[in-house]
Amino acid sequence: MNPTPHLALIGAGIAGLSCATALQRAGLEVSLFDKSRGPGGRMSARRGDDWQCDHGAQYFTARHPAFRAEVARWHQAGVAGVWDPRLWTFAGDSSQGRESTVERFVGIPAMTAPARYLASALAVHAPTNIEQLRLQTHGWQIFSAEQGWLETRFAAVLLAVPAPQAVAILQQAAPDLAALAGSAVMRGCWALMLRFAAPVDLPFDAAFVNQGPLRWIARNSSKPGRSGEEAWLLHACAEWSEEHLEDDPESVAAALLSAFGQLGGPVPQGWTVHRWRYADTEPALHEGCAWRPDIGLGLCGDWLNGGKVEGAWRSGRMLAEQVLRSFARC
């Protein structure tokens, strides 16, 4: 009887978690590695003394039947729910409320919750920063910054990381997959989390901003399940973020606070800034995923499937299906 294939999956964001979950359910052994302290990737939240704020993905939609079924499972488990904010748009000199025709979901009590829910059933090694791969006689070997070359030999290695990180890891092992990842242009985003001692008197809970450095603002406290002090999130637009990607955090915060003030926002009691170096892809690719069955290497991620949380989850599921066909697990 052949032993159960053991796979390494690098990246514990939604794409990696989706892929690992499907593979494990089908009977394969999966070891998941992530360089961050915990799972979730950009489905992330920051916490402090009596405050919390989602500073990566702000919400997600669910259009495909398979992902809607997954979100229903998350909802039943109490880790996701619907967010129906009072929504505005700012454009030039005009501002107006807009009727929301999109069903928006968020993690509960924070955006990290669905990822933590999925990770709870998986073998996640974090923080572990995988930097190199090499194909040996009995499978793939991986190199971590913390432990060097791991002794385990893996039947396949799957990457669910931002495209530029995939390029660095795959350059020697699979130049063709590295080239695919290199064709994706990922952009950064500055995020500013604001804390207030009392609720902010503004007539909206979230707004799309089509002027100045801001792209999106949201009253994090309006999302279901949130606790603690009033918190708001400001996201800079990709163009401004790219232009100011190497600026010091204080000057970035000053610019975004000024823009928030011009929209009626008050001065916060405190703020925290975070730079997402790889926030989105413009344009996102539509390969879905990539799989080399001849050598056992694969790629998945939102950058391969139109962007967004749903795209990431579906990319991971698509890669799992291709891997399972290769291993012919019944």
Beta-sheet strands, E only, within the chain: 6-10, 29-33, 45-48, 51-54, 80-83, 87-91, 94-98, 104-107, 123-125, 130-136, 139-144, 148-149, 156-159, 186-196, 206-211, 214-219, 230-236, 270-281, 290-292, 297-299
| Predicted structure pTM score | 0.95
Q: What is the pLDDT of residues 77-118, one digit of tens each?
A: 999 999 999 999 998 776 776 667 799 999 999 999 999 999
Residue ranges for the chain with pLDDT beneath 70: 1-2, 94, 97-99, 329-330
Q: What is the pLDDT of residues 285-309, one digit of tens each?
A: 999 999 999 999 999 999 999 889 9
Give me the pLDDT at residue 330, please: 37
Element (H, E) at 309: helix 308-327
What domains are defined for the chain? Answer: 6-327 (3.90.660.10)
